[in-house]
Each structure stands twice: as C-alpha cells, then as structure tokens.
Amino acid sequence: MPLPARDAQLVEIVDASLVEAARRAGDLLACRIGCTQCCHGAFAINALDTERLREGMADLRITNPALAAEIVLRARAWIAEHGPAFPGDPETGVLGTSDADQARFEDFANEAACPALDPATGRCDVYQWRPMTCRVFGPPVRSTDENGAEGLGHCELCFIGATPEQVAPCEMPVPHELESELLEEIGSNFETVVAFALIK
C-alpha cells in the first residue's frame, strides 16, 4: 500500500519538534551517533512506519543496492534467530493481538540489536525512514500509563540529575492525531517489528 501524501508532513513536524526539543535541552539530551541503547530490543511498529521503511528500502535498492542487500541480510539473520519465539505470524510478521501474544511480546528479543543498525558505525542505515518510535525517543514525551496517569518519559541516559522543572520545558510535542488520521487513511491497523518491514 502506498504511503499517504501527508506522511511527509508528519515526518517534517516530528523532526522539527525533535530539533527544537534538543535545542532547549542542550547538553541534558545525551543522544549522539554511536549511542545505540535505543537500537536494542524489539518494539512494535504500525502500518505507517512499515510502509515508510519499505519505501526507504525500495529507494536504497536503486541508490545503494549493496547497502540494501546488507540490511536485508541482517534482517533475515534477525528473523532466523528470533522468529521461532515471535508472538505472531512468522510468515507475515504481523504481531498477534491476543492477551497471550501481547504478554509474550513483553519479553521478546529485548536485547537484540535492530537490523537497521550498522554495528561498525553505530548509525541507523534507514535513518531517513525510521519509525516514529525512533524519532521521538530521547527527549521528554508525554504519555499515559495503564492507569490513565499522564507523565513525561525520556531516555534514561538523558537528563541525568535534572529536576522535573528542568525537564518539563524540553517536552517534545508529538502529533498523534495526524498519525492516527494517516493510519485511518491507509486502512490498516496491523503491527509488526522492523526486521519484517525491511525484507518485504
């Protein structure tokens, strides 16, 4: 399925929000190339993230086929290693939605490096097309827990020693409503993980 035209707008808004949050945070935001803690551990991505990654891989197959092939090799190796425990359909890569599947996902591939991560450089090889989770990780982002309580969460390596009063002005707004609209537009609500998106 093609990406909605407004996905470029979503990416532009999020990236600009990150730049501004980083400006306000200064040295309190520790995110740097080569810091790869957030590149380890499987996480769910939605259909919009999946299509963006697939478009990126299609572009790489034209502009840098050697890199595209290397990424696919890493993704296939990831699936070969972790696929047997995948809490969903290992053929399609679609995550299961049952309570049991969701519970299994909590402990799934928690230490595994993302196949998009270049182990030699610590860079993301699909950075331009990375999922929203990757784009918002690091700065303080507002979220709601299972009890309905709101709070600001950020990477544990960032804002070391900062007070809540120092963290709050660095909040990164995220356009969740626009993302939801685009997901409705493509008419799919499946979730998968990065490795499966990279090989399709």
The confidence score (pLDDT) of residue 5 equals 93
pLDDT higher than 90, residue 120: yes
| DSSP 3-state of 110 | coil
Averaged pLDDT of the chain:
95
pLDDT higher than 90, residue 144: no
pLDDT higher than 90, residue 145: no
Q: 3: closest CA among 167, 152, 96, 131?
A: 131
- pLDDT confidence tier of residue 173, bands split at 50, 70 and 90: very high
pLDDT higher than 80, residue 1: no
Give residue limits of the domains in the chain. Answer: 7-199
Instruction: Report the amino acid identity of residue 110.
Output: N
- 161: buried, middle or exposed (CB in 10 Å: 19+, 13-18, 0-12)? exposed
Please say whether the beta carbons of 119 and 113 come within 8 A.
yes
121-155 exposure pattern, b = at least 16 Cβ within 10 A, e = fewer: eeebbbeebbbbebbbbbbbbeeeeeeeeeebebb
pLDDT higher than 80, residue 77: yes
Query: How far apart are the C-alpha atoms of 4 and 23, rounded to whole Å?
Result: 30
* Both structure tokens of 172: 């990164």
- pLDDT confidence tier of residue 150, bands split at 50, 70 and 90: confident
Give the mean pLDDT of 30-58.
Answer: 95
The confidence score (pLDDT) of residue 174 equals 96
* Both structure tokens of 160: 């070391």
Q: 134: closest CA among 93, 193, 68?
A: 193
- pLDDT confidence tier of residue 146, bands split at 50, 70 and 90: confident
Beta-sheet pairing, 150-153 with 141-144 = antiparallel
